Amino acid sequence: MTISRRAFVKQTALTAASATLFSKSLLAIGKHKPALLTGLQLYSVRDDMKLDPLGTLKKLAAMGYKYVEHANYIDRKFYGWSAKEFRKVLDDLGLVMPSGHTVLNKQHWDEGKKEFTDAWKYTVDDAAVLGQQYVISPWLDESWRKEYDTLLRYMDVFNRSGELCQKAGMQFGYHNHHFEFNESLNNSTLYDLILQHTDPKLVVQQLDIGNMYSGGGRALDVIKKYPGRFPSMHVKDEIKSSNAEGYESTILGKGIIETRKVVELGVSAGGTVHLIIEQESYQGRKPIDDMKEDLGIMKSWGY
């Protein structure tokens, strides 16, 4: 394939700029090394949490987990508890919840009034009661990503959510899946557009290093392209599967992600301070047993 000199010069300049930015990020992050935390996304033990949430949290605390991330907020309840009740449960077990997942969707934004509905305001209020640092939306409504202008309009809503969260002493964040890497608008992937049209001071990124794989995303490349943008990471590993996406998660270090290498780059150059273990498939094993093994592996890696 041949390219014009103009295109070659432009690509060379972009590559050089990216390399310079990456190098500066390494230096900057190297000077300021905040304390890391290793936690668990409770979706990893979703069935256990449905059957016995308190008993499951006790088991996780006993095996050494100190931080957990929720994935269940329905009618202002977390796993059946109000925000204040859930905070007490966590406090009594010595657990801290630095982040949580609640999808920001159409019901949360009044397009006519150009403001958030009470449902999203309550979401932010309850997250603050739990002591969260990040309020993370783990999905992008399909209707918001069909047209370029619509996507950009809702990236502004993301920024507005960042402002709302900041007023409550937190930050808004977005968590990727796979479609952000294999869907494009105006010749740019959705993920590129999301990162290019959200203010890093208002919208943090929680990088799911496993979800992206089936969409063609590679975590090492993404971190290098956008250094310093990923304060939170979903730590995963993946193996080939017969499911629709072609891959499923597995015990850390057993798959094809090079998880340890990704974690190390995230910490050194990605701005990563929250390492949140998530495993959604178990290959016939008990999820709670895999959570213990995953934590042990992270500790063996120094995290």
- Clarify whether residues 146 and 128 are in a common domain: yes
User: Cβ(68)–Cβ(42) under 8 Å?
Assistant: yes
What does the pLDDT read at residue 190?
A: 98
Domain count, the chain: 2
pLDDT above 70: percentage of residues in the chain? 89
What does the pLDDT read at residue 9?
A: 36
What does the pLDDT read at residue 216?
A: 98
Alpha-carbon torsion angle 212, 215, 216, 218, nearest 10: 0
**pTM (predicted TM-score):** 0.89
- Clarify whether residues 9 and 122 are in a common domain: no
Residue 212 confidence class, pLDDT cut points 50, 70, 90? very high
- Clarify whether residues 19 and 131 are in a common domain: no
- Clarify whether residues 149 and 18 are in a common domain: no
For residue 10, pLDDT beyond 80: no
For residue 49, pLDDT beyond 60: yes
**CATH number for position 111:** 3.20.20.150
Between CA 189 and CA 194 the distance in angstroms is: 9
- Clarify whether residues 70 and 15 are in a common domain: no
User: What tens digit of pLDDT does each residue of 119-136 get?
Assistant: 999 999 999 999 999 999
- Clarify whether residues 88 and 14 are in a common domain: no
Residue 20 confidence class, pLDDT cut points 50, 70, 90? very low
- Clarify whether residues 60 and 203 are in a common domain: yes
- Clarify whether residues 10 and 159 are in a common domain: no
Q: Which of 252, 140, 143, 248 is nearest to 197 (CA)?
A: 140
- Non-local (6+) Cβ contacts of 28 within 8 A are 228
What does the pLDDT read at residue 33?
A: 58
User: Cβ(291)–Cβ(249) under 8 Å?
Assistant: no
16: containing domain: 1-32
| Both tokens assigned to 99 | 């982040």
User: What tens digit of pLDDT does each residue of 146-201 get?
Assistant: 999 999 999 999 999 999 999 999 999 999 999 999 999 999 999 999 999 999 99
User: What tens digit of pLDDT does each residue of 234-286 get?
Assistant: 999 999 999 999 999 999 999 999 999 999 999 999 999 999 999 999 999 99
- Clarify whether residues 73 and 154 are in a common domain: yes
